[in-house]
Amino acid sequence: MSRDWWLKFSFLVAVCIGSALLVYPTVGKVDLEKTKLPFKQKINLGLDLQGGVYMVLGVDFNRVFRDNVDRQAAGIEQAGKDKADLGIKSVKAIREGLAADDPHLVVEFDPAQTQKISDWLKNDYSWTLRRVAESSGKIELGISSQFREKIRSDTITQSIEVVRNRIDEFGVTEPVITSQGADRLVVELPGVKDVERAKELIGRTASLEFKMLAETVMTEPQVIQMVEEVKRSQNLEFKEGDKLSAYTAKINEAVKSKIPENTEIVFGREEVMPGADPRSGRLTPYLLYRKADVTGQELQDASVGFNPDDNRPEVDFTLNPRGAVLFEKMSGENIGKSMAIVLDNIVHSVPRFQTKIPNGRVRITLGGNRSYDQVQKEANDLAIVLRAGALPAQLDFLEQRVIGPSLGADSIKKGAMASMIGTLLVFLFVLFYYRLSGAIAVVSLILNVLFVLALLVSLEATLTLPGIAGIALTVGIAVDSNVVIYERIREELRAGKRPGGAVEAGFQKAFRTILDANITNAAASIVLMVYGTGPIKGFAVTLLIGIVTTLFTAVFVCRLMFDAYLKRLEARNAATLSI
Amino acid sequence: MFEIIKPGTTFDIVGKRHVFVWGSIIAIAITFALFFTKGLNYGIDFTGGAEVQVKLPASWDTGKLRAELEAGGIKHAKIQEIALGGETGAVTERQYLVKAQGDENSLKAISQGVQDIIGKTLKAGEFEMMRVDVVGPAAGADLRKRGFLSMVYALICILLYVTLRFDARYSPGAVLALFHDTALTVGFFVITQKQFDLQILAAILALIGYSNNDTIIVFDRVRETLHLHPRLSIEQAVNKAVNETLGRTMLTSLSTFLSVFALWAFGGAVIRDFAVTLMFGIAVGTYSSVFIASSLVIFLTHYMEKKKTGAPGKPKKQYQVRPEPKFQ
């Protein structure tokens, strides 16, 4: 055999050994910790094979934009106070009649300062705001498109971080959290069975706000009465399964004229009897000031502690230095008044300030009527969620799929078995039809599968159930390449060429056809990969890998083996190719 | 050498092409009619909804399951028994698919409700929630849009590629053949009313890529034949080419069919419909490459001749052939 051949052959052997080493940890029973093998990775199994939870979450940007405009409005207002020469009279955020994702703010100022205002806005706010409308003494601004983009991408990145933090605490091995498109998150939690808890953990906005009760405006009984009236007159009863946030918005809309603009109604839930669904508790309305003096941003730590009075679990917060100062101020200015601790827009508790609280430590005691375990669990989860940070935006659950573990194991078993039988059938067929050349094809097909698995492991791609089918399909398609080459060789032999020439011509002429076929396969697979998710994506990736390996084995490996075969024929002076 | 088609045999495929083409046109028309009337049995991936796959003891038949669910308040669910297949001996358990639709809030209540209702009557070890899928209606509509868009993109990519590789006579033929395959496969699902979900769509996309192979094999040979025998009419050339590649076409399809057949027979319930899609698609794809794509090439050749000369083209005209690209 020529030196060229030996070089190629050694290359092939090296690739085979490498692949075998990559694949062995998956198929052999290898303990990943103790092994001395160079590659310590098992193949990544998709959710449909492992069992677990798959969720698609939609990010609600509207609220984020609203909060941002509110914050900018507050900033401009503050600047107006600091720089009296700007002549700013008032700053208001408005949402009436505007698209939900495009709130505006209106600045009213002394018309004489129009130029100054214009310059100042251009200096400080040109990147974040855009002019919507102007008139004498009034200017309306909205969020600029580039800032909007930044907010969007920042929100997504932050959401992913927060979700990741929460899941870490949950103790899931190898969770996958990615963004999809412009406004979605995909979360995959292999091995998790308690969906509801996972959803609770992930979906809670966990926005923590301390707001003062507007007791001087209306007393609590007056608030309750007002809300009851509105409920009756406008038929706004809270139904089971309604979203509380939507309901709260509706009520606030209905009482708008009756309450001052800087206040809002927020509901709290009453305690329920032990064993009952906590969500069936009656809703109590509270009138709170909109402004949150202290928020979750000032939270330094949250942990589970025990109330010394009755030994029940509670959540202890510690605020950071800035938060401690704010809280001290808040408590000092409001002695004798009540503060609402608002979690996810639901009033959790309403403690009264007896004294100024200087050290930034707050306690939330959790509901008294449930079992100790339930309360403990809730305390734990609440602490986790607070520690990991608040979600910058609300997440809606668009899709969720839970695969039980036995379905996964079952699928692997059946899928692998079917693929092997299919491959075996193909082998038999090829051996029967092409005899020794068929044997060559069989060897190249076996190597093909080995390479596919090795590439899956090394690229850390995920193997899903359709992916297993994809491997079987790849074998079927790989045989096509062999058939194309062999039929061509047969034709050349019929036309009178000698074995060597026929093989040469066969490979040459067939190459272009094989390339075309595989390129069109690849095109469809790429489209599938871009548009697919989850198991489908796994299928597309497996097919693509299969196309690459097929090209390699059908052309390079087969050719190598044929060259060896031809040499053997030559040595024995035989003239017929077994094909 | 063992030959499935003896070399030198010639079937008159081209002569009877009108039969095949008209047959296909009628089949596609029927598919369209049914698609817009009966419609596909979309899975929850595309319509949104909740789907629960549950394993129950054999004593629970469809009627009992429905009765239990209705008693528990779940009234409009579709219940389908999943044929497990491959089981020997007495049936010890059954698997059911419970499908329900509604808006987002009721879906979650339903998926939880199914678990609760069954859990009340049976003990923990006697039943198992194999899979619970909830797709919000907005997400479902989105997936459907993306799904069909992806089919369109794949077809466009292939159209572009074939146009590059061959000339204008061939590419419409290839794409129409693919469209023909896709339409008939979708028609298969309309007629059998099997569940059409994301997995099936993936299979169809894989088919779009795959069934083009046969077509390209035939076209390659047509072009080569025209090149080597320029005095043949297009009909004769195509017939010769198709016959010469018939063996190869059937073999490649057979080999792929074998591996997919094993998936269908042994792969379990989850993969079975996926495999059926591929099997049907491979069969139709082979048929279209041999009978339809070739006919379209002939039709287009005459059509372009007519446009060039402005007179009805005579079949025996000399034709300018683009030389096959050198690949060294």
Q: What is the pLDDT averaged over residues B178-182?
A: 89
Q: In the predicted model, is pLDDT for residue B6 greater than 60?
A: yes
Question: Is A540 near chain B, with CB under 8 Å?
Answer: yes
For an interface test with A, the pick among B87, B97, B106, B258 (most A C-beta atoms closer than 10 Å) comes out as: B258
Of B270, B86, B262, the closest CA to residue A417 belongs to: B262
Pairing state between β A129-135 and A462-463: unpaired
Output phi, psi for A9, to 5 deg. -65, -45
Cα gap B301→B283, rounded to integer Å? 27
- CB spacing of B266 vs A418 below 8 angstroms: yes
**Chain position carrying tokens 């419909």:** B273
Cα gap A15→A32, rounded to integer Å? 23
Cα–Cα distances (Å) from B215 to A300, A488, B9, B58, B150, in that order, read 66, 17, 20, 49, 21
Chain A CB contacts of B130 under 8 Å are: 403-404, 406-407
- The C-alpha torsion from B28 through B29 and B35 to B37, rounded to 10°, is -160
Q: Chain A window 252-291: which residues touch B at a Cβ cutoff of 8 Å? A: none
Tens of pLDDT along B214-256? 888 888 888 888 888 888 888 888 888 888 888 888 888 888 8
The H or E element that residue B165 is part of is helix B137-165
Cα gap B101→B117, rounded to integer Å? 18
Cα gap A275→A290, rounded to integer Å? 34
Cα Dmax for chain A: 110
- DSSP track, B218-243: HHHHHHHHHHH-TTS-HHHHHHHHHH
The SS3 assignment for A361 reads strand
Task: Say which residue, B325 or A442, is predicted with more confidence.
Answer: A442
- CB spacing of A480 vs B256 below 8 angstroms: yes
Give the nearest partner residue to A415 out of B147, B165, B271, using CB atoms: B271
- CB spacing of A516 vs B157 below 8 angstroms: no
- CB spacing of A476 vs B257 below 8 angstroms: yes
Angstroms from B312 CA to nearest CA on chain A = 34
Do the Cβ atoms of B259 and A476 come closer than 8 Å? yes
Question: Is B252 near chain A, with CB under 8 Å?
Answer: yes
Cα gap A489→A505, rounded to integer Å? 7
Q: Provide the mean pLDDT of chain B.
A: 79
Angstroms from B137 CA to nearest CA on chain A = 8
Chain B CB contacts of A490 under 8 Å are: 1
Question: Is B170 near chain A, with CB under 8 Å?
Answer: no
Q: In the predicted model, is pLDDT for residue B328 greater than 50?
A: no
Chain B CB contacts of A522 under 8 Å are: 209
Chain A CB contacts of B210 under 8 Å are: 473, 477, 521, 524
Residues paired with A107 in a beta bridge: A91, A139
Chain A CB contacts of B170 under 8 Å are: none
Residues paired with A209 in a beta bridge: A295, A342
Residues paired with A314 in a beta bridge: A305, A365
Pairing state between β A138-143 and A129-135: antiparallel
Cα gap B180→A52, rounded to integer Å? 39
HSE at residue A453, side-chain half, CA atoms within 13 A, is: 23
Q: Chain B window 103-132: which residues touch A at a Cβ cutoff of 8 Å? A: 104-106, 108-109, 112, 128-132
Query: Hey, what are A144's tokens?
Result: 């600029």
State the first-to-last Cα distance of chain A, in angstroms, to the nearest integer: 22
Q: Chain B window 17-76: which residues touch A at a Cβ cutoff of 8 Å? A: 53
- CB spacing of B128 vs A417 below 8 angstroms: no
Chain B CB contacts of A470 under 8 Å are: 206
For chain A, which ranges sit under pLDDT 50?
A: none
Output phi, psi for A369, to 5 deg. -95, 10
The H or E element that residue A347 is part of is strand A346-349
Angstroms from A170 CA to nearest CA on chain B = 21
Question: Is A457 near chain B, with CB under 8 Å?
Answer: no
Cα gap A487→B306, rounded to integer Å? 37
Residues paired with A140 in a beta bridge: A106, A133
Tens of pLDDT along A75-94? 787 777 777 777 778 888 78
Judged by phi (left if over 0) then psi (alpha if -120 to 50, else beta), residue B134 lies in beta
Do the Cβ atoms of A302 and A266 come closer than 8 Å? no
Question: Is A398 near chain B, with CB under 8 Å?
Answer: yes
Give the nearest partner residue to B131 out of A403, A430, A491, using CB atoms: A403
Cα–Cα distances (Å) from B18 to A144, B15, B21, in that order, read 62, 8, 5
Q: What is the pLDDT averaged over residues B85-91?
A: 52
Angstroms from B21 CA to nearest CA on chain A = 24
- DSSP track, A94-154: E-TTS-TT--EEEEEE-GGGHHHHHHHHHHHHTTTEEEEEEETTEEEEEE-HHHHHHHHHH
pLDDT at A472: 85
Cα–Cα distances (Å) from A428 to A477, A559, B6, B259, B264, in that order, read 16, 21, 21, 11, 19
- CB spacing of B266 vs A417 below 8 angstroms: yes
From the centroid of its chain, how far is CA B290? 17
Of B169, B207, B206, B210, the closest CA to residue B294 belongs to: B169
- CB spacing of A400 vs B149 below 8 angstroms: no
Task: Indicate the angle between helix axes B294-309 and B17-37, nearest 10 degrees.
Answer: 110
Angstroms from A390 CA to nearest CA on chain B = 24
The DSSP code for B125 is G
Cα gap A22→A24, rounded to integer Å? 6
The H or E element that residue A209 is part of is strand A208-212
Compute the residue count for chain A: 579
Cα gap A532→B313, rounded to integer Å? 47
Question: Is A536 near chain B, with CB under 8 Å?
Answer: yes
Cα gap A433→B252, rounded to integer Å? 12
Of A516, A494, A513, A490, the closest CA to residue A503 belongs to: A490
HSE at residue A338, side-chain half, CA atoms within 13 A, is: 18
Question: Is B204 near chain A, with CB under 8 Å?
Answer: no
Give the nearest partner residue to B213 out of A403, A480, A535, using CB atoms: A480
Give the nearest partner residue to B260 out of A399, A404, A476, using CB atoms: A476
Of B224, B238, B174, the closest CA to residue A509 belongs to: B224
Give pTM, 2 decimals: 0.74
Cα gap A408→A463, rounded to integer Å? 12
- Count Cβ–Cβ pairs < 8 Å, chain A vs chain B: 230
Do the Cβ atoms of A528 and A546 come closer than 8 Å? no
Cα–Cα distances (Å) from B267 to A475, A539, B162, B205, B247, in that order, read 16, 15, 35, 20, 29
Chain B CB contacts of A550 under 8 Å are: none
Query: Hey, what are A268's tokens?
Result: 């709290």
Question: Is B134 near chain A, with CB under 8 Å?
Answer: yes
Q: How confident is the model at residue B313 (pLDDT cuts 50, 70, 90)?
A: very low
Chain A CB contacts of B53 under 8 Å are: 407
- CB spacing of B213 vs A517 below 8 angstroms: yes
The DSSP code for A86 is G
Question: Is A480 near chain B, with CB under 8 Å?
Answer: yes
pLDDT at B317: 44
Three-state secondary structure of A99-112: CCCCCEEEEEECHH
Cα–Cα distances (Å) from A183 to A338, A445, A537, in that order, read 39, 43, 19
- DSSP track, A418-432: HHHHHHHHHHHHHHH
- CB spacing of B271 vs A417 below 8 angstroms: no
